[in-house]
């Protein structure tokens, strides 16, 4: 589907709210008492702990200018913590934003793709695979979801142009962090009774953000990711979501898989760092 700047802004604002929600939840839990949140340029600046994937500026650069003094304060605070400032900037943001950040000294380290699918009653559901079972995660299966997600993410399929190669320790930390946000929907997949994969979803302002989808190595190429996508799309429709969004590494097998499920490339995010 075609995505204009207005729709891109909606998606980026939903992503910014997700980042804020997770950071606030972890800070409230006491696991990251030094976490920082700032509002900047229509988006959010988040710092959770050293090396966390939640340390980023996202949703910036559309209809609200990035205030130089506010950004300078963030750069100084992040520098004091020994952390580079990372900006995930939509390619549909105002050109002036990327030009100004480059002039300021931010450097490009890569991209991530944002893929979108419209949700409506007229969309023909994708056929399910009978031997794959999808179940919602509850208190009894929370630990299983956590372990399956960590094990799958730390065994990547080595496809695509991946910006971040996180250590197992960092993956374990970020999965523990997102578990603090109780508004995620989480899912487990099994193939013929054997645990196969896990995924999650967060619906914000009519946008279903599909995240954390990962398949265990022994169960790959069996349709597990497709089944997890279908289950989340069905749930998103029931929740009244208008759009479903997935972020992937460019040229990855994950991108190929989600495009087979009706997603199309909407735009990319340029990953810029300073410090």
What are the extents of the domains in the chain?
5-112, 132-266
Mean pLDDT of the chain: 93
For 75-130, the pLDDT digits (tens) are 999 999 999 999 999 999 999 999 999 999 999 999 999 999 999 754 445 556 77
Pairing of strands 36-40, 56-58: unpaired
The pTM score is 0.93
| Tokens describing residue 169 | 């320790």
The pLDDT assigned to 122 comes to: 47
Q: Is the pLDDT of residue 69 over 90?
A: yes
- d(Cα 115, Cα 99) in Å, to the nearest integer? 24
Instruction: Give me the CATH code for the 132-266 domain, please.
Output: 3.40.630.30
Percent of the chain exceeding pLDDT 70 equals 97
């Amino acid at each position: 589907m075609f995505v204009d700047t207005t729709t891109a802004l909606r998606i980026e604002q939903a992503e910014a709210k997700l980042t804020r929600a997770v950071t606030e939840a972890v800070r409230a839990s006491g696991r990251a008492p030094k976490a920082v949140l700032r509002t900047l340029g229509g988006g959010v600046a988040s710092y959770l702990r050293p090396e966390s994937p939640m340390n980023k500026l996202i949703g910036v650069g559309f209809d609200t200018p990035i205030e130089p003094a506010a950004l300078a304060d963030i750069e100084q605070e992040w520098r004091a913590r020994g952390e580079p400032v990372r900006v995930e900037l939509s390619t549909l943001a105002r050109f002036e934003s990327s030009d100004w950040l480059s002039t300021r000294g931010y450097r490009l380290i890569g991209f991530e793709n944002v893929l979108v699918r419209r949700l409506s009653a007229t969309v023909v559901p994708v056929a399910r695979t009978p031997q794959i079972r999808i179940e919602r995660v509850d208190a009894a299966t929370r630990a299983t979801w956590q372990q399956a997600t960590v094990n799958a993410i730390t065994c990547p399929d080595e496809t695509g142009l991946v910006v971040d190669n996180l250590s197992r320790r960092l993956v374990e930390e970020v999965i523990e962090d997102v578990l603090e946000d109780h508004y995620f929907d989480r899912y487990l997949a099994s193939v013929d009774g054997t645990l196969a994969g896990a995924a999650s979803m967060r619906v914000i302002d009519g946008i279903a953000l599909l995240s954390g989808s990962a398949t265990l190595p022994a169960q790959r190429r069996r349709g597990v990711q497709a089944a997890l996508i279908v289950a989340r799309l069905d749930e998103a429709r029931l929740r009244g979501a208008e759009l479903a969004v997935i972020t992937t590494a460019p040229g990855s097998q994950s991108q190929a898989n989600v495009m087979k499920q009706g997603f199309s490339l909407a735009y990319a995010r340029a990953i810029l760092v300073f410090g």
